[in-house]
Structure 1
Amino acid sequence: QGNFGNWQQMVGDQTGDDVFSGQDTGAQNSQELSCQYCLVNVSSSDLDTIVFHSKTCTSMSRINYDYNFMCLVCDYHSPSSQKMKRHLFSHTGEKPFQCSYCDYKSNRKDSLMRHARINSHYPQVE
């Protein structure tokens, strides 16, 4: 792993998990999201429940079953639960991925990694 392991730890420390694991820290400031189809309210801190509802809500009209996950708030739809979770951050305003070297925060792990690369927040590989 060499120095790369240190960079991975730098990014992962703020997210509560390894940078490449796809995990995040969860909601910082929980709020209610209301399903525009059935009007049920779900806490934004419980992403698994929201994603489950986005796949199982019987009030949603599913035109294309390849896109199993439909956003409760807007018209976004996805074939992937992971992409749906990432999309939900746009509604909650949550930015769980924080740089260890500055105040930069992002709702996407790849944006944090790009930030670290552009701003030389990574170790030089020898």
Structure 2
Amino acid sequence: MLSNVCRVCGRQKICERSLNLFDLVNRKYLKHLHMITGLRLVALDNVPGFMCLCCQSELRSALAFRKLCIKTQKKWLSIEEDSSSDEESDECATVSSFRETKDDKVLEETFQVLIEEEPEEPEESQFLSDCIPNKEIDETAVPPRKILRTTRKPKTDDQIYICKLCGTQATSKTVYQRHMKKHTGDRPFGCQDCEARFLTAAELRAHLRVHSGEQPFACRFCEKRYVSYMGRVNHERIHTNERPYVCEECGKKFTTAYVLKNHMVIHTGERQFRCDPCDRFFQRKSHLVTHFRSMMHLQKVKSQETKTT
């Protein structure tokens, strides 16, 4: 039935977390939709009035992107106003015309180079030699560079590699070998500035940015920057509210696999972090660290030290 689908996308089914657009509490969403799309939604008979969770996430992402564009445009306008107040209008016109002329010249030279490097077709070369038969051919001239085009062969290997230790599946041998290094502990790429070691050269290059302070990955919605691509992706989920990791037990969604793994402890009941002096186990490492600071643990350690002495 139409009443069970989203009013915005018309595809997703409504759920418990869907919002009634025409409820007075949610009227701001109608304003945001009009701001982004220019549409004024009104309540209609036999037409759904709820917005699904996916559309809510897309709307937040669009609003964040709109806010970023407006903020950036204001920055450019302020720079333009400052430059116009410092320089005369005729000087600005001269500089702009010089830049345009220079840019046109660079584009023309680049286009000319591309034409000169393009290899001639055999028929065209033969036609030119027939039209100019008396012209001597310079054998010492450097022939135009040829563009080498390589075509990749279609992948025919559909073999699936399964890890015998944990059951993880890999679609390529390279990914499988990289996964097996996690079990063997083989980390051939070491950092020269610290004792950290990594599975691949790419992980090492990303780690070196920690020492150099380089942060090439900028958030698309705010001014924060990160040393790795995945760091930026995980941060941007705060703006988009994207939660791709879903718990199979309760259906809760999380932004990273690490948070999902910590959540699964609630269902499995696993307690792998142990305090040896107190003979106690904890579900999370943070709980164990908190226990180390507790008075009960400190008294236990102190009593054991007095017994040994």
TM-score band, normalised by the shorter chain? 0.3 to 0.5
Higher share in helix: 2
Higher relative contact order (CA 8 A, sep 6+): 1
TM-score in terms of structure 1 length:
0.47
